[in-house]
Amino acid sequence: MKLIVQIPCYNEAENIADVIAAIPRDIKGVNEVAVMIIDDGSTDDTVNVARAAGADIIHRNRRNLGLARTFRAGIDRALREGADIIVNTDGDGQYPGRFIPELITPILKHEADITIGDRQTHKVAQFSPLKKLLQRYGSALVARLSDLDIPDAVSGFRAFSRDAAFDLNIVSSFSYTIESLIQAGRKQYAVTSVPIEVNEVTRPSRLFRSIHQFLARSGSTMFRMYAMYKPLRLYAYIGTLLMLLGAVPVVRFIIYYLLGDGSGKIQSLIVGTVLLILGGLAILFGMLADLISFNRQLSEMTLERVRRIEIALEAHETPVHPDDEG
């Protein structure tokens, strides 16, 4: 049983040594623990510091690609390195490494495919009341969209079984946290949470500049993922709403027409008819999108098999060097 702890990082020379040092190397049920740095085009000394601190694998992006693509590159590299379990943690030291054994326990026991570290944000003193509120309702929304009961949906401290990692297809360029949960729910993976504590973060997030930007980008990600994986339900909601709105002026016209005063209410008929047509078209688009989503599922199944074949062939024919520049 091989565990790879992947750490996406960008300019983390000040923190990365402490993060690596906190990762336990002797875990019950695991034969080998390896630490992998996925450097996202850092301009400081992150890579050299990580290597000196004991990083076993270093994967480097030649330029800054963003968190989601860096996470995806790390998953691919970890699979090529033979990981049976992959743990993802941040390079800023927010997530204590001592919780890794607890995080992977449900996977070792075959009780879960993915586990999420629940920061219990309502207890974290360094989080503002606004952040706690947004986290609470944001996680509730993601839980509803993904059909998963996960209290901390944006936690980056998470573990994946090998099978779950093979089936991940991150397409977002912003963050993997929300998308991976919606995918996991759609593909009916067993997902659970493990309560953890957090260290004090000494710098602001580099993923977003403000709460407004985070909400906008997270909201657009949720909408795209929901439209991608549950298009019929989404467009049925939109279509039904439009048709209900359209029915109101149409009924108004009919009532006035029966009372003998319909000639002055023709605009209600026009507006209502347009809304009814748009509603019907939305439902039709939803049906077409739903059919397309079945093709997507077939494509994802094919992609998973191709990835497994490629990695199996690579393992036999082309050894992966530990300092691949990516």
Query: In sequence order, what are the residues at sequence separation of 6 or more whose Cβ sits closer than 8 angstroms to the Cβ of residue 289?
Result: 227, 231, 232, 235
Q: Binning pLDDT at 50, 70 and 90, where does residue 320 land? A: very low
Q: For residue range 73-99, what is the model confidence (pLDDT) as tens digits? A: 899 999 989 999 999 998 888 899 999
Q: What is the pTM of this model?
A: 0.76
| CA–centroid distance for 306 within its chain | 22
Q: Binning pLDDT at 50, 70 and 90, where does residue 208 land? A: low
Q: For residue range 11-42, what is the model confidence (pLDDT) as tens digits? A: 898 889 999 999 999 999 999 999 999 999 88
β-pair type (85-88, 57-61): unpaired
Q: What is the pLDDT of residue 321?
A: 45
The fraction of the chain above a pLDDT of 90, given in percent, is 39
Q: Binning pLDDT at 50, 70 and 90, where does residue 207 land? A: low
In the chain, where are the structural domains located? Answer: 2-223, 231-317
Q: What is the pLDDT of residue 319?
A: 47
Q: What is the pLDDT of residue 293?
A: 77
Q: What is the pLDDT of residue 160?
A: 96
Q: What is the pLDDT of residue 252?
A: 86
Domain 2-223: homologous superfamily in CATH: Spore Coat Polysaccharide Biosynthesis Protein SpsA; Chain A (3.90.550.10)
In whole angstroms, give the CA distance from residue 186 to residue 230. 8
